[in-house]
Amino acid sequence: MGLGRPEVVGGQTGRGGAEKPGGRVPGPTKNERGPSPGRCRGTGRAFAAGLNRLRRTEVLRSVTETAIAALPELLGRADSPASLMAADAAAPAEPAEVIAASCAALVAELLEALDESVPGH
């Protein structure tokens, strides 16, 4: 079963609910669809705030800096390894190109926000 509409099995949806009258299978709930595209703007800044909290914690500083340094290589482009893995994981519910490009855009926004939050950058 994909992430889109639940399949109907014996009059039941894949989520265990009943098929709606008239044979219409209910679509995903609001939480299953995820945030609307407009609500995703600024997500990089939100991630940056969390990463900056980790950077300020002595025991987490080193691993956080290592993870941030790996972001451009792993997710910085639509054809980066982790961007492609995310696209494969979301298939077929979402177009692979959209997911891969979204990963790259989010990382670009995140890295920009991190640079803005570090004095001297």
Residue 2 counted as domain residue? no
Residue 114 counted as domain residue? yes
CA-angle at 48, arms to 45 and 53, nearest 5°: 135
pLDDT per residue as tens, the chain (121 positions): 444 444 444 444 444 444 445 555 454 444 444 444 444 557 888 899 999 999 999 999 999 999 999 999 999 999 999 999 999 999 999 999 999 999 999 999 999 999 876 555 4
Residue 54 counted as domain residue? yes
- Is the separation of the CB atoms in 61 and 82 below 8 Å? no
**pTM, to two decimals:** 0.60
Residue 8 counted as domain residue? no
Residue 16 counted as domain residue? no
Residue 56 counted as domain residue? yes
- CA quadruple 52, 56, 61, 65: dihedral sign: positive
Residue 100 counted as domain residue? yes
Domain membership of residue 77 as a residue range: 39-121
User: What gap in Å lies between CA 29 and CA 22, rounded to an integer?
Assistant: 19
Number of independent structural domains in the chain: 1
